[in-house]
Amino acid sequence: MIWKAHAKLNLYLRITGRLETGFHSLETVFQEIDLHDELIWKPEPHNGFQLHVDGPDLGPLESNLVYKAVKLFSAESSICVHGQLILKKKIPHGGGLGGGSSDAAATLSGMNRYYKSPLSEERLRKLAAELGSDVPFFLQGGTCRAQGRGELLQPMELASEFPRRGFLFIPPCPAPTAQVYQAYAQSRPAVWQTRKKRQKHISWGRNDLTEAACAVQPNLKSVRDVFRDSLPRELIFMTGSGSTWVWLTEKRQVPHLPFPFEVRQIPFQFES
């Protein structure tokens, strides 16, 4: 059986403060898109659990969120998971597209379906939040406005005139999430701790982490400047903590840009 793990965009990302846990609080709009990884589950009743990754080397398997999701599911459900899970990576690593979090969510929901729903949706959401701030969104999918660390979700609908497709520009320089948030924190004054109020109006394309990502990966600043010069009135922004840039448009062609981007055309995905 095959489980799809879709990528996401942050159509808007505003840092609102810092929580007592040390995490940043934020407001964002998550949008699920068609780009996805695949997880292939092969039950093998007597061979224990094995994870195989078909894609770039992402480090020890024990640190992979898919592996952690299986272990959490097993502990919470008291089920010994036996089988082979093959992760086929298509979502770029370190691009701000949520690939690892989506893989974890697809694993939790897939395992729960296979073992005939031993865990309620509430318990799945609890496990998802333990694995990562945006993992709960991937259990839900679609379009959601989020608060807290990103785990407090409210489904929403985009206006009919909002572009439902566009292009991803993926530079060959990932921006590690932890380093980007650290750079953001270092750029703030020491008194910056107060949580800001939720904004009523969303500034589409706003991303408070853009400058921090450019500090971590200086090449991204040149990328940003080229976009501003080449496509000055278009909705172009960085997603998540970077390094992927997004151009939302109904156009079907991409202008020549002087960077070695990987370019992918993406429709939105409204059903998981």
Tokens coding 2? 């095959």
Residue 68 annotated among the catalytic residues of the structure: no
Q: Which two tokens stand for residue 21?
A: 């846990």
Is 103 assigned a catalytic role?
Answer: no
Distance spanning both ends of the chain, measured CA to CA: 16
Which is catalytic among the residues 37, 68, 103, 134?
Answer: 134
Catalytic residue (one of 8, 37, 68, 103): 8
The radius of gyration of the chain's CA atoms, rounded to the nearest angstrom, is 19
Q: Of 266, 265, 169, which is closest to residue 219 (Cα–Cα)?
A: 169
Q: Report the interhelical angle of 99-114 vs 121-131 (nearest 10°).
A: 150
Give the integer Cα–Cα distance in Å for 226 and 104.
35
Q: Dihedral angle at the C-alpha atoms of 174, 164, 257, 181, nearest 10 degrees?
A: -30
- The residues that are catalytic are 8, 134
